[in-house]
Chains A and B, each alone.
Chain A
């Protein structure tokens, strides 16, 4: 028995000449369970990111609307004194939006291949690797 990534487990099966069908089937079932575990990790990360984005979304929307409206008012008045503060607020909000965009990209990548996400964790953090009877 030993801990391994999915790729390592699949390679191990491929390198077992003369493996009986019964053993191959049993080992493949372990790999399939490891894939399911990887998918669960991906889903957990999706849930975490989604919660984080939703948690800050409303405040961010409100602040962006406030800054936009204040800038529109400044346009009407031609008042330069408020611009530096509004620019700073806008830049700070823009950085937060960039972070959300990066998180959405991550969500899309995980949704496209949740097993790959889990496998990347297995590769990066050995203690998370599944245990296989044939390793």
Chain B
């Protein structure tokens, strides 16, 4: 009984750690995507100056 509860608690704690890691990974991916979007926009603006004035 006590072993079962201990195993379950370990899995709950692991799940919580994985959740934090997944949330961090999602935030990093979104930052990365946003930076890439900005770079793409800057590249487009450089290539087509008229776009940047609109």
A interface residues with partner B (beta carbon < 8 Å): 50, 53-54, 57, 60-61, 64-65, 67-68, 71-72, 74-80, 83, 86-87, 90, 93-94, 97, 100-101, 104, 107-108
Contacts and interface: CB of A to CB of B under 8 A. Distances in A.
Q: Helix, strand, loop or mixed for chain A's interface?
A: helix
Given A53-B1, A93-B15, A75 B21 contact: yes
Given A71-B21, A93-B15, A80 B26 contact: yes
A6 to B, nearest CB: 27
Interface residues of B, number: 23
Given A78-B29, A79-B26, A71 B18 contact: yes
A86 to B, nearest CB: 7
B25 A86 contact: no
B32 to A, nearest CB: 8
B19 A90 contact: yes
A70 to B, nearest CB: 9
Contacts of A64: 8, 11-12, 15
